[in-house]
Structures are given as C-alpha cells and as structure tokens.
Amino acid sequence: KYLLVFDFDETIINENSDESIVRAAPGQALPEHIRQTFREGFYNEYMQRVLAYMGDQGVKMGDFKTVYENIPLSPGMPDLFQFLSKNHELFEIILISDANMFGIESNLRAAGFYSLFRKIFSNPSSFDKRGYLTLGPYHSHKCLDCPANMCKRKILTEYLAERAQEEVEFERVFYVGDGANDFCPSMTLTSADVAFPRKGYPMHRMTQEMEKKQPGAFQATVVPWESAVEVTHYLQEILKK
C-alpha cells in the first residue's frame, strides 16, 4: 500500500484559498490597515484578523461557502482524482494544509472528491455565535523553518508513527505540494519515496537549491509537475511494475 500526501492551496486547487475569500469582502479587497498587519511566519494570526474584518462587514457562511466551492482545481487534478478513485484500495490518501477545515471541506465536497481522503489535517475553523468564520492554529512545534501554527513534517512523522502502531506500513510515500512548508516534510522522505513539487513554485526551487548545495541530501526522487496528469502517469507506471 502507498501513502499519498497532498497539500491543498496551489496544489489541489489552482489558487491560494486565503486570498480567494477576499472575493467575498466588500469591493473584493482588504483595507490597507489590515494588509499591513501581516508578519512573516504568522500568517494564521493575520488570517484571523482578515476573517474578523470580513465578519464585521457582514460576510456570512454562505458567502464564504460560495467562494470556496468555486475555486478551480489545478490542471489535471480531476484526472488524478479519478485515477485514485479507481485504484483506491492501493492508496491511502491524506491532506495536510495550512488553510482551514471549512474551506477545504467545502471545496472538496463541491468537487466530489472529499471521500478520497482518509484524513485531513488543517487549521480548525468554525462559525461563532455572531456568524463570523473563526480560525485557530493547528498545533505548536519547535521547527525553526515553519510558520508558528503548523509544521507539516511533525504532522507527517506523527501520522506514519500512528499508522505503524496500527500495523500499517507503507511501501512508499508520495508527496504532492508546492510551497516552502511542503519542503520541510519532504525532507523526511527516503530514497524509496517520491516528491512531486509543482514546477516553478517554492518547493521545487528549494529542492533544486539543496541538490546544488548538498548533492544527495534530498533523498526522495523528485518529479516536478505542471499538470497533475504528470503525477497520474508516474503513478500508473509504478502500478505496472
């Protein structure tokens, strides 16, 4: 059995969902005083302020849901998901994302692929008494390379340990992502595993830089993709062997 790990923003979907929801804000834009509060590594806290502002402006659950449901999937992603549906007994599929649970669930249910995922790890989000969408951090960690609220390496490592305790061992791990926060977990992959970084995005650039600086330090096979059809083809070849 294979473990397939997906990121969400700019991987499964072709946008950053945190930026997409601004379409539900008045004038489809955020005021400058909110935008200026962003600090590197504290994106989750920044999004909490964005959501509070949108709540103040009267943006409701249905408005958010409509935006999330209409975010397009990345090129080739529906084909990859169809392929995985047909071969679901061979793949265990999880999603690790620094977005939020409500947005991810809304999008995947609308696209018809929610049931593919055994587990989704993302920041907790819910609607409070006022009808505001609220967001929390996923966990705390000691990783110096990741944002304060989420280290995907920690999540992946703990998941593999938990599955091993349940006597589920994976022959190989496949990791499909795009961002700098996907590079951290992909560093734990072994030479049997495959990293699929989206071509020209931070994860791809970081794997290339590491290969230059420390050849062989990045152990997994690297297969960059522009369309998820390339991921599908790679997985099809593996199943033939």
By annotation, the residues acting in catalysis are: 7, 9
d(CA 11, CA 241): 27
Is 182 assigned to a binding site?
no
3-state secondary structure of 167: coil
Is 128 assigned to a binding site?
no
Is 178 assigned to a binding site?
yes
Residues contacting 235, CB < 8 A, separation 6+: 83, 174
Which residue reads 């549906």 in tokens?
A: 85
84 within 8 A of 107, measured Cβ to Cβ: no
Which of 81, 85, 129, 135 lies closest to 107, judged by CA? 81
d(CA 37, CA 155): 28
Is 145 assigned to a binding site?
no
d(CA 60, CA 196): 36
Distances (CA, A) of 133 to 13, 40, 128: 21, 23, 7
Reading the block at residue 188, the tokens are 């734990």
Pairing of strands 125-127, 133-135: antiparallel
d(CA 68, CA 211): 36
**Annotated binding-site members for substrate:** 18, 98
**Annotated binding-site members for Mg(2+):** 7, 9, 178
